[in-house]
Amino acid sequence: MITAEQSEKLRAWFAERLPVDVYESLVSVTVDREEITVVGTVPAAESVKEFRERTREQRIEVAREAEELYRRKVAWGVRSGEETTLFTHLAVPVMTRLRQSERQVLDTLVAGGVARSRADALAWCVRLVGSNTDTWLAELRESLDKVREVRSQGPDIQKSQPE
């Protein structure tokens, strides 16, 4: 997990490198182990398709530099009003082990036509939890940042152990 400080540095890095005419404003830079997602606002008179075509070469250039430096793929998105559209983003497979009662939840979603497969059902569940617990997840992420900060201020265990 990336710290708030690292996230802010990453946002600053993109803000410095993106030409001023790419986005009207930079909304967010989000990162995980595989991907960096950059979202900005587009002018009201411009469509997502027009934005993608107009900025393609500029975004590719910045993405190549970022991918080499940060060893993560770069995804792009735009916000227009309240709607956010992501493009060129990853869908990463995740393996998990589920007990029968948990598999039955997924199978019910498939049987009910909510999802095409167990994988789709699990993704649906994750999106549902994420959209209903934003505040709790934000507090948890802040707590993790604090734990990292405290650990970094503690003694170096490697140096304090006798040889």
What is the pTM (predicted TM-score) of this model? 0.70
Q: Could you give the domains of the chain?
A: 1-90 (3.30.70), 93-153 (no CATH)
pLDDT in tens for each of the 163 residues of the chain? Answer: 677 788 899 999 999 999 988 999 999 999 998 999 999 999 888 999 999 999 999 999 999 999 999 999 999 999 988 889 998 888 888 899 999 999 999 999 999 999 999 999 999 999 988 888 888 888 888 888 888 888 888 887 666 555 5
Q: How far is CA 162 from CA 151, 154, 157, 158, 159, in A?
A: 21, 18, 10, 9, 8
Tokens at 137, concatenated: 């997840």
